[in-house]
Structure 1
Amino acid sequence: MKGINATVSVLACLMGLSGCVMSDPDGFVFGFRVVEGQVEVFLPMCPDDRLESIRAADASGERVELFTAAHPTAIQAGNGNLIIHDTRGWAPEGFEDRQVFNPAAGIPRLLSVRYRHTDGEASGDVADMDKVTAAALEPDQYWTDKGPMTAEQISRQFHCNKPTS
Structure 2
Amino acid sequence: MRRPDVPPMPALEATELRRYAVRRRERTIVVTALAVSSVVVVLMALGFWAFFVRTLSDPGSPALVGIRIDGDAVTVKSGQCPQDRVRRVEVWDSDTERRVWRGDDPLTEEGRRGLLPLWEGKAYRASSPAGQPSELPATLDVTVDQDPAYGVSEVFDIAEVRRAVVPPGSYWTHEGVRTAEQLDGIPDCGNSSSP
Scaled by the length of structure 1, what TM-score is found? 0.72
> Which residue number corresponds to residue 28 of structure 2?
none
Contact 1:114–1:125 (CA under 8 A) maintained in structure 2: yes
1:160: Cα distance to partner? 2.1
Q: Which ranges of structure 2 fall in alignment gaps of 5 or more residues?
A: 1-48, 191-195
- 1:36 & 1:103 partners in 2: Cα distance? 12
Which has the greater radius of gyration? Answer: 2
1:71: Cα distance to partner? 2.2
> Which residue number corresponds to residue 53 of structure 1?
88
Say if 2:146 is the partner of 1:117.
yes
> Which residue number corresponds to residue 68 of structure 1?
102
Contact 2:64–2:152 (CA under 8 A) maintained in structure 1: no
Say if 2:58 is the partner of 1:29.
no
1:36: Cα distance to partner? 2.7
Contact 2:60–2:150 (CA under 8 A) maintained in structure 1: no
Scaled by the length of structure 2, what TM-score is found? 0.62
Secondary structure in structure 2 of the residue aligned to 1:131:
helix
Please tell me the residue identity of whatever aligns with 1:23.
Answer: G
Q: Structure 1 residues 96, 53: CA separation in 2 closer, same or farther (over 3 Å shift)? A: same
Structure 2 counterparts to residues 101-112 of structure 1, below 5 A? 103-112=132-141
Structure 1's consecutive aligned runs of 4 or more residues displaced over 6 angstroms after TM superposition are: none
Higher strand share: 1
Higher helix share: 2
Q: Structure 1 residues 100, 23: CA separation in 2 closer, same or farther (over 3 Å shift)? A: same
Q: Structure 1 residues 145, 77: CA separation in 2 closer, same or farther (over 3 Å shift)? A: closer
Secondary structure in structure 1 of the residue aligned to 2:173:
coil
Aligned-pair RMSD on alpha carbons? Answer: 2.8
Match of 1:142 among 154, 171, 182: 171
> Which residue number corresponds to residue 160 of structure 2?
131
Length, aligned pairs only: 140
Contact 1:83–1:93 (CA under 8 A) maintained in structure 2: no
Q: Structure 1 residues 94, 101: CA separation in 2 closer, same or farther (over 3 Å shift)? A: closer
- 2:143 & 2:180 partners in 1: Cα distance? 17
Contact 2:117–2:123 (CA under 8 A) maintained in structure 1: no
1:77: Cα distance to partner? 4.9
1:72: Cα distance to partner? 2.2
Once the two structures are superposed, residues 74-100 of structure 1 have per-residue CA deviations (whole angstroms, 9 ceiling, x without a partner) of 52553311110xxxxx33442112121
